Chain A
């Protein structure tokens, strides 16, 4: 659920760039990423439906369009407003890095359906990571203005990243069963991946900022607004056919 919610909320934020990205090509690239993420979320929601004995066709829509903010389990990182282009790129880069590492581990999960899904999603996420990594380097090393914006974005975003690696309730059982990777191990692998890349782009990680470690049921004021928009049509006409 946490994986799926991260993807769907971030996809919505990224889709807000459709028609507004700095250039047409990037507009298409980010809309692609947003669509890929929706696709990944559907895979996870469908897997949940199967585990819970729900209808795999309707359950994902049910979860996405008819759950209140308190029912969402996404990290606060992904619900923050899209900000400027630097903010979007830094957030996406840090998130993609976490995803590729997590998925790499999930590919070896003892739970077969999870391993298969991870195998498939990993390929696309690797490309997302490559794309945002390229952008981080160019904006970090670009002009004084682009560097300033990137550093400011990083300072704002960094504290929120901790929540991506906070253990979920009962996750220890799954870790012990080798179903999912240990979040602490993932966190340090992630730091080893992103910090050198950021430094290469002349960006400095502030260590003093207090990390956000709230449980995933706690949200910022931005999530209700986002959901109000995302769910509006579905809630007005619950049984509409498409």
Chain B
């Protein structure tokens, strides 16, 4: 079946000053600007957020530690134009198997001429940390929210209260009604 969805963008969110950007999920969008807005609407209805990135999924080279054990992994990556100049790549890593670390976090940057080289460099530079999953993508693929967006995009969420269902008396009321029916 053909995919009728718009292209996929991975979403990264920075919650607090000093914390890294963390992948939180993905959105579909026709272009990067709308992707950034969709990311805000899908992931920042609740606080906190200082900054968002969106990255087209097709621009990301992702490998699990399992895949990297096999030395031939680079052969599976489609070739990029040979003339490519070195450019900055962002490096992300999934750092543990804990539930709270489901997604990759941004750990740093390397210079490389293509994704395979970027991942090799990343493994050299950040390989001491245990990485379960590695992502690399060129810095130019990232669309970021601006600091001046915080006020209109993220701050309003701070004042919105999330109410669990038990906030409402209805739940207790329904239980009573059900009990009454059973007896």
Contact = CB atoms under 8 A, between A and B. Distances in A.
B55 to A, nearest CB: 16
B34 interface: yes
Decide if the interface of chain B is mainly helix, strand, loop or mixed.
helix
Interface residues of B, number: 26
A123 B156 contact: yes
Interface string B57-96: 0000000000000000000000000000000000000000
B37 A32 contact: no
B156 A36 contact: yes
B28 A123 contact: no
B123 interface: no
B153 A127 contact: yes
Contact of B152 (A25, A124, A138, A242): A124
A124 B159 CA distance: 12
Nearest to A124: B156
B54 to A, nearest CB: 12
Given A28-B45, A120-B159, A134-B34, 17 more contacts: A23-B6, A23-B28, A25-B42, A28-B38, A29-B37, A32-B41, A32-B45, A123-B151, A123-B155, A123-B156, A127-B156, A130-B152, A134-B33, A134-B37, A241-B173, A242-B168, A242-B170
Interface in A215-242: 241-242
Nearest to B30: A138
B5 interface: yes
B166 to A, nearest CB: 13
A54 to B, nearest CB: 23
B41 A29 contact: yes
Contacts of A127: 40, 152-153, 156
Contacts of A131: 37
A59 interface: no
A134 B32 CA distance: 11
A239 B28 CA distance: 43
B168 to A, nearest CB: 5
B27 interface: yes
A26 interface: yes
Interface in B37-51: 37-38, 40-42, 45
A120 B152 CA distance: 10
B107 interface: no
Nearest to A31: B41
Nearest to B36: A134
A25 B41 contact: yes
Interface string A182-193: 000000000000
Contact of B5 (A23, A32, A130, A242): A23
Interface string B102-138: 0000000000000000000000000000000000000
B169 A241 contact: yes
Contacts of A138: 30-31, 34
